[in-house]
């Protein structure tokens, strides 16, 4: 008497059960991952809302580079254009912003 058909049927049933449990585990894992992403999205939206609600300082509203440059004479403005002072100030500002962003992202560890 050969037990091969019974063993094959039990093996196929065990493989089917394993596939069902693997599919359930994968679905739960995906659900938890999606829930964490949704929670992080809500957190960052709330953080962005808080940052937007911070009022700008009064000294930024009253004084600007445009008002400082408009009071200069034409000769000074010519040399500022030749030496590319405007793009240089923008480059320095972006470098400072990048440095501050890097400090925040590393939680002030350096």
For the chain, the structural domain boundaries read 1-54, 59-110
Give the C-alpha distances (Å, rounded to integers) separating 26 from 21, 29, 39: 8, 5, 20
Three-state DSSP at 109 gives: coil
**Nearest Cα residue to 64 out of 36, 93, 35:** 93
pLDDT tens for the 110 residues of the chain, in order = 677 888 999 999 999 999 999 999 999 999 999 999 999 999 999 999 998 898 877 766 666 667 777 788 888 888 988 999 888 988 999 999 999 999 888 887 76
pLDDT at 43: 95
pLDDT at 110: 66
The predicted model scores a pTM of: 0.46
């Amino acid at each position: 008497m050969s037990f091969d058909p019974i063993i094959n049927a039990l093996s196929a049933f065990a493989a089917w059960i394993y596939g069902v449990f693997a599919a359930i585990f994968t679905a739960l894992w995906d659900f938890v991952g999606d829930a964490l992403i949704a929670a992080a999205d809500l957190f960052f939206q709330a953080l962005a809302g808080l940052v937007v609600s911070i009022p700008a300082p009064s000294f930024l509203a009253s004084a600007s580079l445009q008002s400082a440059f408009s009071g200069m004479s034409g000769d000074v403005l010519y040399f500022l254009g030749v030496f590319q002072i405007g793009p240089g100030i923008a480059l320095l500002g972006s470098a400072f912003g990048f440095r501050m962003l890097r400090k925040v992202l590393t939680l002030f560890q350096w």
